[in-house]
Structure 1
Amino acid sequence: MRWRGLGLQLVGERFSQLQWLSHLRGRRRHIASHWTTSEDCPLECDCPSSFPTAMYCHSRNLQHVPYVPSHIKYVYLQRNQITGIQDGVFDNATNLVWVVLFQNQLSSDKIGKNVFSKLKNLDKLYLNHNELTRVPPNLPKCITDLRLGHNKISKILSNSFEGMTNLTNLQLRSNVIEEVGGALKGLKSLTMLDMRKNKLRKIPDHLPERLQQLYLEFNSIESVPVDFLPMYPKLQFVRLAHNKLTDKGIPSNVFNVSTLVELDLSHNKLEKIPTVSRSLENLYLQANKIKEFSLGSFCRVVDMTNFSRLRVLRLDANQISVKDIPAEAAYCLRLAASIDL
Structure 2
Amino acid sequence: MRLVIFFLLSALIPLVLCHGWNSWTNYWQSQGYFYGSQYADRAYSVSACPDECDCPSSFPVAMYCDGRGLTAVPPIPSHIKYLYLQHNAIKSLPDSALSNATNLVWLMLHFNQLTSESIGKKAFLKLGGLERLYLQYNNLTSIPSNLPLCLRDLRMDNNMIEKVSPADLEGMDNLTILYLHDNALSEVGSSLKGLNSLTLLDLSSNKLTKVPAPLPAYLHQLYLEYNAIDSIPEGFLSLFSQLQYFRMSHNLLTDKGVPANTFNVSGLVELDLSFNKLERIPSVSTMLQYLYLQANQIKEFTVGSFCSVVDVTNFSRLLVVRLDGNELSLVDIPTDVGHCLRQVLDLEI
**TM-score normalised by length of structure 2:** 0.87
Give 1:98's aligned residue. 106
Give 2:17's aligned residue. none
Identity %: 56
Q: Report if aligned partners of 1:244, 1:269 keep a CA contact under 8 Å in 2.
A: yes
Give 3-state SS (helix, strand or coil) of 1:193's partner: strand
Give 1:153's aligned residue. 161
Q: Report if aligned partners of 1:102, 1:130 keep a CA contact under 8 Å in 2.
A: yes
Give 2:30's aligned residue. none
Q: Report if aligned partners of 1:290, 1:318 keep a CA contact under 8 Å in 2.
A: yes
Q: Report if aligned partners of 2:45, 2:77 keep a CA contact under 8 Å in 1.
A: no
Give 2:6's aligned residue. none
Deviation at 1:37, TM superposition (A): 6.9
Give 1:41's aligned residue. 49
Q: Report if aligned partners of 1:36, 1:48 keep a CA contact under 8 Å in 2.
A: no
Give 1:57's aligned residue. 65
Give 3-state SS (helix, strand or coil) of 2:347's partner: strand
Equivalent of 2:91, from 75, 83, 89?
Answer: 83
Give 1:130's aligned residue. 138
Equivalent of 1:177, from 185, 189, 202?
Answer: 185
Distance 1:73 1:37 in 2: 12
Distance 1:55 1:208 in 2: 35
User: Which structure has greater helix proportion?
Assistant: 2
Give 3-state SS (helix, strand or coil) of 1:55's partner: strand
Distance 2:307 2:341 in 1: 9
Deviation at 1:303, TM superposition (A): 2.6
Gaps of 5+ in 2: 1-41
Amino acid at match of 1:337: L
Amino acid at match of 1:100: M
Gaps of 5+ in 1: 1-33
Distance 2:268 2:336 in 1: 24
Amino acid at match of 2:108: V
Distance 1:281 1:231 in 2: 20
CA deviation vs aligned residue, 1:159-212 (integer Å, no higher than 9, x gap): 110000100000001001000011101100000001111001111111101100
Amino acid at match of 1:69: P
Deviation at 1:36, TM superposition (A): 11
Amino acid at match of 2:77: P
Give 2:278's aligned residue. 270
Distance 1:94 1:232 in 2: 37
1:110-259 to 2 correspondence within 5 Å?
110-259=118-267
Q: Report if aligned partners of 1:155, 1:177 keep a CA contact under 8 Å in 2.
A: yes
Q: Report if aligned partners of 1:262, 1:280 keep a CA contact under 8 Å in 2.
A: yes
For the aligned residue pairs, the C-alpha RMSD in angstroms reads 1.3
CA deviation vs aligned residue, 1:213-251 (integer Å, no higher than 9, x gap): 001110001101102011111111000000000000100
Q: Report if aligned partners of 1:146, 1:171 keep a CA contact under 8 Å in 2.
A: yes
Equivalent of 1:332, from 326, 340, 344?
Answer: 340
Give 3-state SS (helix, strand or coil) of 1:263's partner: strand
Q: Report if aligned partners of 2:45, 2:61 keep a CA contact under 8 Å in 1.
A: no
Give 1:67's aligned residue. 75
Distance 1:78 1:35 in 2: 26
Amino acid at match of 1:299: C
2:323 aligned with 1:318: no
Give 3-state SS (helix, strand or coil) of 2:256's partner: helix
